Structure 1
Amino acid sequence: MADTYQITEGRLGEEPTVTVSAPDGRARAVLALRGATLLSWQVAREAPGQLTEQKDLTEQKELTELTELTDGYRDETEMLSQDGVRAGLLAPFPNRVADGRYRYGGRDHDLLPGRLADRTVYHGFAREAPFRIVAATTTADSARLLLRTTSLRPGRYPGYPFALDLDVEYTIGRRELGIEIRATNVGETTAPYASGWHPYFTLSRPIDDLVLQIPAHTLIRTDASLIPLRGEEALLPLDRRPDMDFRTPRKLGDAVIDACFTDLAPGPAGRSETVLSDPASGDELRVWQYGGNMHVFTGDTLARDRRASIALEPVEATTDAFNRPEHATALSLEPRRQRKFRFGVTYLPSTH
């Protein structure tokens, strides 16, 4: 049996994929090159040796049962439809841009030119962009994959005349998956840019039975189109919305959420952690991020398996940031400069 992580190529329909497997078979991740999209992340609940006393490691690997922790695209049709944006990487903007229009650098930009009806646009272009593997390293403890797209160029996407290279680095360990998005401005003009991730997580139970904790002090208030209110009106201290205050862990129940939480409190390691847990099993998922905001969506409008999983989305910027003057400086990525956003998830199965 191999003593390092293994990387193999495959396909989802006609779409190329990459599978990363731990040497003992206790962790497995599958990525699509389209959008550098995570399709599946599976981890063994039991610690090594807990399942069986077999001395032969190959036999133990064959007996290992893996738990699926994400609710990704199941087939090529789902991925091409992009319904729910399952585990989509969000760039050069997360969430929505109001009416598909924004003004930047003294110019008006239209992301949906010629369209009169349904002016909804969201989650950027990276989630459907072609990526390629530019580096891969494996050890006994983890694997790292570096994927790149150079598709963000003037003329490629209406309303975004800027040139960016995007690097996405996945680090996959036995019970942790980390992602770093790096954007480099390779053009001649400053570009507006922000990124994020749109994963759906599951602990093998309906989300109504799960407990959520978000270390946020402020809720972003929105209008009926989910666009934040203007200026300070958008910032609502969670002390004034106890029904949306998850600073103390509490059961989701029938809560319907599609909202952004901000002012995240960092933990001891300098990263904020949103915790999803199953009180019945004691299992936990900790979605961590360095900076940014946490957008939560309870999946009530998904085409498949509504409320079977929950989207816990680390995002650099709030919805419609391209139209908010107070975010202009933070969004600006100057020529030959790079910006990073790092986030991920850790699985902590119960030891009982």
Structure 2
Amino acid sequence: MPHTWPETAPTEVELTAGDAVLVVDLRGGALRRLAVGDWEVLDGYPAGTVLPGWRGAVLLPWPNRIRDGRWSWDGEDLQLEVQSPAEPHAIHGLLSWQPWSVLDRADRSVTVATTVEPHPGYPFRLAAAVDHALTADRLTCTVRVRNTGDRPAPFGAGMHPYLSVGATVDGGIGDAELTLPGRTELVLDGGMPTGERRPFAGAVGRIGERALDTPLTDLDRDADGWARVRLAGAAGELELALDDAWPWLQVYSGDTLPAGQWRRSLAVEPMTCPPNAFADGVDLVVLEPGEQWTGTWSLAWAPGA
């Protein structure tokens, strides 16, 4: 019998609509690239590389961090793998490095999917899919999760796009203008909640030297039920909108990223729950066997003059 080996080349799927190009990485299902003409709308990463700063990642079965990876469910103490000795927390779920497959493909849409298999510290089984639809001026992403196990399954979901509006040097995001819909900030210390919440003024204006790594909730929503983030810079204006399945939003200005990535773009992360939600029990989604959850967000662009 001849020796065979698994495919090792990076695999991805590409959509186009007008001048817009979307690339979805099938290692982790991440949004690797979104460009409109010469404008790199998402601050992505090269094919076949480890996504720096979790750029474009799908965050399941939890977004953000769980302190020391420890939590309890249904009377059972659970221990997740942690990031590192320097950051001893479980971070951004279990899916960023595993293969995803294409379930459906059309000219301007694609559905990619994978399975959350039971892991140490997460003894549940979920099916996950993301539907991407691209037009010349908008990307719409719908995240779907289904409990395929035989017991109720708690989870949280998020996505991690870095929005770029034309900064080309470190610190350049400071020139951008920002408006956020959040009215309440969850106060963090070392990335973990302190238990304090305080009012947040969403009309940020020019970002300047302001450092943001901020979970927001109590989102202001328009008459259609969607909350909207607006970011404008030299390249144009972006509007990220999220439906009511996402009660949380985290904004991160890249202050802990290395040179060459530092404060060049703004991560705007739709989330179903805040940091440490597994341990604190805040806003977890719990699915019965066979039950499913759906949440949609979109990103629209208007190039500058």
- 2:29 corresponds to: 36
Alignment of 1:190-339 (within 5 A): 190-205=152-167, 206-223=172-189, 225-230=190-195, 234-238=196-200, 245=201, 247-278=202-233, 283-291=236-244, 292-303=247-258, 304-327=260-283, 330-339=284-293
Q: What SS does structure 2 have at the residue aligned with 1:84?
A: helix
Q: What SS does structure 2 have at the residue aligned with 1:322?
A: helix
- 1:69 corresponds to: 41
Answer yes or no: is the 8 Å Cα contact 2:10–2:47 preserved in 1. no
Runs of 5+ unmatched residues, structure 1: 1-12, 45-65, 239-244
For residues 96 and 273 of structure 2, the distance between their equivalents in structure 1, rounded to whole angstroms, comes to 17
For residues 313 and 173 of structure 1, the distance between their equivalents in structure 2, rounded to whole angstroms, comes to 21
Relative to structure 1, the CA distance from residue 257 to residue 116 in structure 2 (aligned partners, 3 Å threshold; closer, same or farther) is closer
Higher helix share: 1
- RMSD of the alignment, in Å? 1.8
Relative to structure 1, the CA distance from residue 175 to residue 209 in structure 2 (aligned partners, 3 Å threshold; closer, same or farther) is same
Runs of 5+ unmatched residues, structure 2: 1-7
1:269-290 deviation per Cα after TM superposition (whole angstroms, max 9, x unaligned): 3211011012x56x21001101
TM-score normalised by L of structure 1 = 0.78
Matched, 1:125 2:66: no
Higher strand share: 2
For residues 326 and 182 of structure 1, the distance between their equivalents in structure 2, rounded to whole angstroms, comes to 20
1:107-141 deviation per Cα after TM superposition (whole angstroms, max 9, x unaligned): 0110028x877422210012222110011123xxx
**Offset at residue 249 of structure 1 (A):** 4.6
**Offset at residue 75 of structure 1 (A):** 3.9
Q: What SS does structure 1 have at the residue aligned with 2:104?
A: strand
Q: What SS does structure 1 have at the residue aligned with 2:193?
A: coil
**Offset at residue 27 of structure 1 (A):** 1.2
For residues 129 and 269 of structure 2, the distance between their equivalents in structure 1, rounded to whole angstroms, comes to 19
- 1:19 corresponds to: 14
For residues 254 and 57 of structure 2, the distance between their equivalents in structure 1, rounded to whole angstroms, comes to 15
Alignment of 1:70-109 (within 5 A): 70-77=42-49, 79=50, 82-109=51-78
Q: What SS does structure 2 have at the residue aligned with 1:306?
A: coil
Relative to structure 1, the CA distance from residue 20 to residue 332 in structure 2 (aligned partners, 3 Å threshold; closer, same or farther) is same
For residues 301 and 153 of structure 2, the distance between their equivalents in structure 1, rounded to whole angstroms, comes to 36
For residues 70 and 298 of structure 2, the distance between their equivalents in structure 1, rounded to whole angstroms, comes to 31
Q: What amino acid sits opposite 2:280 in the alignment?
A: R
Answer yes or no: is the 8 Å Cα contact 1:195–1:341 preserved in 2. no
Q: What SS does structure 1 have at the residue aligned with 2:90?
A: coil
For residues 293 and 139 of structure 2, the distance between their equivalents in structure 1, rounded to whole angstroms, comes to 20
The more displaced of 168-177 and 296-305 is 296-305
1:1-54 deviation per Cα after TM superposition (whole angstroms, max 9, x unaligned): xxxxxxxxxxxx8210111122x4x1111111111111111114xxxxxxxxxx
Q: What SS does structure 2 have at the residue aligned with 1:127?
A: coil
Q: What SS does structure 1 have at the residue aligned with 2:140?
A: strand
Q: What SS does structure 1 have at the residue aligned with 2:120?
A: coil
For residues 227 and 295 of structure 2, the distance between their equivalents in structure 1, rounded to whole angstroms, comes to 13
- 2:103 corresponds to: 134
For residues 204 and 251 of structure 1, the distance between their equivalents in structure 2, rounded to whole angstroms, comes to 14
Answer yes or no: is the 8 Å Cα contact 1:169–1:181 preserved in 2. yes
For residues 132 and 164 of structure 1, the distance between their equivalents in structure 2, rounded to whole angstroms, comes to 15
Relative to structure 1, the CA distance from residue 249 to residue 118 in structure 2 (aligned partners, 3 Å threshold; closer, same or farther) is closer
For residues 67 and 226 of structure 1, the distance between their equivalents in structure 2, rounded to whole angstroms, comes to 31
Overall identity of the aligned pairs, in %: 30
